[in-house]
Amino acid sequence: MKLAELGEFGLIERIRRLCPVQGEGVVLGIGDDCAIGDLPADEELLTSTDLLIEDVHFCLDWTDWRRLGRKAVSVNVSDIAAMGGVPRHLYLGLGLPATATVSQIEALAQGIAERLGDYGMVLVGGDTCRSPGPLMLSVTVVGSAPKGEALRRSGACPGDRLYVSGTLGASALALQRLLANEPLSPELAQRHHDPEARVALGRGLSSAGLAHAMIDLSDGLIADLGHICRASAVGARIELGRLPLCADLMVTAASPLRYDLALSGGEDYELLAAIPPEKESEVLALAEHLCLPLSCVGEVTSPGEPLQLIGHDGLPLTPDNVGFNHFAATEP
């Protein structure tokens, strides 16, 4: 069936049937002019929005509609995780080209529904319209955190240890190989097309007061650490030898490229946290409980000091690339 035959309201009903639409905090969901939500007592609202545009953020020659739906949810939830919150509700805006089919939209909705279930979320509203050009998705995620617990970028202190979850560089290496028409290993494909937001880690660090500041790694370690440094008015030092590189980087990439992708490639969607030294043992215990690797990659330094990279020989380095920039980048 063609999208024109189904119509806008038929499409909305298809998506509604596929996705969870009732859950905690939903007073009124899809079907009226606005959704009505109920925020738990003594909690603050967290909201994040991302726009995903075909051939800018994704390429349909490389991914399928179901995985695109899954990724669209996770990359937004990652922002909630970075503040130590609980994701609750999702709003979905779709700009659909005339070539889109009903089966493709259903696959997209299926991927969204799967990730909503993974994160315990509900689809509560959105919009659909025809796009004269590329496929576009606008995703807004609403979450919450107990008052005073949400972690910000502005709390890092000199002496804090900088910890990174998981591994770095897999998504950037995957993109490089896709651009070169080279095959991906299962790990690279999963990390690029279907990342997972670190909600449990973010919530654990926040609820137990184990971190001073946190951010998710969407634009690359150097760029995102720079956001923390500017917001907290501090410097930082990163040691290359401590970076948790993904296995494919270690095996196949030359040394300079290996570290450039890990530092500046982006779309890792891991968490970077500034941890006070006296909390390190508790943080490592949390990581072990979650079966999620955490690596100390450096430390926060005094105000006025620059962000430094330290090579394997102990000497400072200057990065060739500072991270992803939408208005400087030309590749999808």
The whole-number mean pLDDT for each consecutive block of 10 residues of the chain, a chain of 332 residues, reads 70 78 86 88 95 93 95 97 97 93 93 97 92 94 96 98 97 94 95 97 98 97 96 96 92 76 94 98 98 98 93 76 45 39
Write down the pTM of the prediction. Answer: 0.90
- Angle CA(321)–CA(275)–CA(232) in degrees, nearest 5? 60
CA pair distance 211, 163, nearest whole angstrom: 10
How much is the pLDDT for 316?
A: 83
Q: Are 136 and 94 in contact (CB under 8 A)?
A: yes
In sequence order, what are the residues at sequence separation of 6 or more whose Cβ sits closer than 8 angstroms to the Cβ of residue 13?
none
Residue 26 sits at φ, ψ, to 5 deg, of -100, 105
Question: Tokens 């490229």 map to which residue?
Answer: 257
How much is the pLDDT for 315?
A: 82
Question: In the Cβ-directed half-sphere of 153, how many Cα atoms lie within 13 Å?
Answer: 15
How much is the pLDDT for 326?
A: 39
Q: DSSP for 220-268, please give it.
A: -HHHHHHHHHHHHT-EEEEEGGG--B-HHHHHHS-HHHHHHHHHH----
How much is the pLDDT for 325?
A: 45
CA pair distance 311, 129, nearest whole angstrom: 51
CA pair distance 264, 226, nearest whole angstrom: 11
How much is the pLDDT for 2?
A: 66
CA pair distance 252, 201, nearest whole angstrom: 30
Residue 141 sits at φ, ψ, to 5 deg, of -110, 135
